[in-house]
Amino acid sequence: MSRAEDPIVITGVGAVTAAGVGSDALLDALRSDRFCGVSWGGALPIEHVGACRDSVPSHPDFPDDRKADLAFSAAREALDAAGGWEHVAPDRRAVFLGTGLSSVTPAELESDLYPHLTAEGRFDRVAMARDLSTDRGAPRRHMPARVTAGLRLELGAHGPSATSFSACAAAAQAIGEGLRAIRRGEADMALVGGHDSMIHPLGMLSFVVLGALSPSRCRPFDGRRDGFMIGEGAGMLILERASSAHARGARPLAVLAGAGSSVDAWNATAPHPEGLGAGLSMKRALRDAGVAPEAIDYVNCHGTGTPLGDRAECGAVSRMFGRNAPPVSTVKGALGHTIAAAGAVEAVASVLAIRHGFLPGTVGHGSLDPELTVDVVGAARDTVPEYVLSNSFGFGGQNCSLVFAANALQARS
């Protein structure tokens, strides 16, 4: 069967975000334009963080590892929603995840680093390494692929797998990898997504010193925007062929129609000012999906709320779609920026938008920056998007866009 006749569909989603544990919590927050940030009582010059307030089950094999807990929770939800994958041979189950820098916990900062600071203001690295090597959890917590490996082990997935690390584009890249693995026939089902939490002292201060965090509120596409709210989360999706889902009676939630990636090739620390790479990744995703720009009903923007990032992305959207550009929004105003998980959380949001017939609003957006020429969805709109484009752009200039579609659903429901 051709790609159009037997598309890759999503049969389960899972999410843990500032909205809470579960994709239902995310749906509720997005439909009601709820700001999910919590007040930050620490000394850093920020007012809110997008932390998940719900209790997230702790995984016994990953002590003190927030990112792992987020990932396992979302993965279990996605797989349960899809009806499991026990019917698929282990070597036909794939896992592709995106992740970010390791979590340096306050305990590590205080116990592993500080005691080894010498009177000369340098670190005694030998003592530091010796100390770390006695804590079995510490080195493991810094291995980016630990969660991918843990999920493969727990879920009996012996098929293709990879851990993408491309900053804020990581999860979207991982979803694209899963799509290609199934297209090539290398796997029958794939768990794809991403997980990240930079809500820890070193994580947050890293973005503070970069000047990326808003000291007050994230205001995407607004003339007053001054950065994002740091968030945390995980998003997971189950991919399989429509024919396979149909055969076992699983109901597809949406179609993953295409993926495209690009590199800005501009600067390792700043986006291309005109969104060159952003435009390329959107163009490639559309071409991969086999849809024309005018078919897109909604763009789920990367939309971090930084002055440079929003300008570059909106410029690329305007050039790509011209006068008939579809409405755009970003969920980062509501949830915060989940960094490496962003592409997956926003993929789940896109699927929910298709499934439940609405466009998420842009929480925090007040008035459009006069330099931007896009139609911003301020408050959530009830409408059924048939094609959704979701963007993720990362430090280092790596970009990835995904196209989600509803069209195969009508044919099969």
DSSP state of 107: H
Angstrom distance (rounded) from CA 361 to CA 334: 9
Residue 367 CB neighbours (<10 A)? 12
Q: Where are the alpha helices (DSSP H) in 83-124?
A: 106-107
Number of amino acids touching another protein (CB under 8 A): 82
Site for another protein contains 158 (CB under 8 A): no
CB 265 within 8 A of CB 399: no
Return the number of the residue (17 or 281) whose C-beta is nearest another protein: 281
| Catalytic (active site) residue 302 | yes
Query: Alpha carbon of 196 to those of 131, 140, 346: distances in Å?
Result: 26, 16, 13
Return the number of the residue (291 or 331) whose C-beta is nearest another protein: 291
CB of 74 vs another protein, minimal distance in Å:
19
Site for another protein contains 411 (CB under 8 A): no
Site for another protein contains 165 (CB under 8 A): yes
| Catalytic (active site) residue 301 | no
Active-site option among 48, 116, 195, 302? 302
Site for another protein contains 133 (CB under 8 A): yes
CB 218 within 8 A of CB 227: yes
Query: Which amino acid is it at 1?
Result: M
Residue 198 CA, chain-centre distance (Å), reads: 13
| Catalytic (active site) residue 356 | no
Active-site option among 301, 337, 365, 400? 337
CB 271 within 8 A of CB 264: yes
Burial state string for 175-203 with b = 16 or more CB within 10 A and e = fewer than 16: bbbbbebbeeeebbbbbbbbbbbbbbbbb
CB of 98 vs another protein, minimal distance in Å:
10
Per CB under 8 A, which of residues 16..45 are in contact with another protein?
A: 42-44
| Of 274, 293, 272, 273, nearest in space to 284 by CA | 293
Angstrom distance (rounded) from CA 220 to CA 366: 9
Tokens of residue 183, six digits: 């297209």
β-bridge pairing 48-49 and 38-39: antiparallel
Per CB under 8 A, which of residues 178..217 are in contact with another protein?
A: 180, 183-185, 201, 205-211
Return the number of the residue (267 or 367) whose C-beta is nearest another protein: 267
CB of 147 vs another protein, minimal distance in Å:
11
Return the number of the residue (259 or 380) whose C-beta is nearest another protein: 259
Per CB under 8 A, which of residues 255..284 are in contact with another protein?
A: 261-269, 276-277, 280, 284
CB of 257 vs another protein, minimal distance in Å:
9
Angstrom distance (rounded) from CA 72 to CA 75: 5
CB of 70 vs another protein, minimal distance in Å:
17
Per CB under 8 A, which of residues 351..370 are in contact with another protein?
A: none
- Contacting residue, 153, 247, 292, 384, with another protein by CB under 8 A: 292
Quick note: the x/- pattern for another protein over 1-20, rule CB under 8 A, is xxxx-x--------------
Per CB under 8 A, which of residues 293..352 are in contact with another protein?
A: 294-295
Return the number of the residue (12 or 258) whose C-beta is nearest another protein: 258
- Contacting residue, 132, 216, 307, 412, with another protein by CB under 8 A: 132
Tokens of residue 291, six digits: 């849809």
Angstrom distance (rounded) from CA 33 to CA 27: 10
CB of 285 vs another protein, minimal distance in Å:
12
Beta bridge partners of 13: 237
Active-site option among 36, 48, 52, 168? 168
Per CB under 8 A, which of residues 74..113 are in contact with another protein?
A: 99, 101-102, 106, 109-110, 113
CB 220 within 8 A of CB 303: yes
Return the number of the residue (362 or 398) whose C-beta is nearest another protein: 398
DSSP state of 59: P
* Segment contacting another protein by CB under 8 A, of 28-36, 143-151, 243-251, 306-314: 143-151
Angstrom distance (rounded) from CA 173 to CA 391: 11
CB of 81 vs another protein, minimal distance in Å:
27
CB 231 within 8 A of CB 48: no
Per CB under 8 A, which of residues 378..397 are in contact with another protein?
A: 386-387, 394-397
CB of 19 vs another protein, minimal distance in Å:
26
Which residues are part of the catalytic machinery? 168, 302, 337
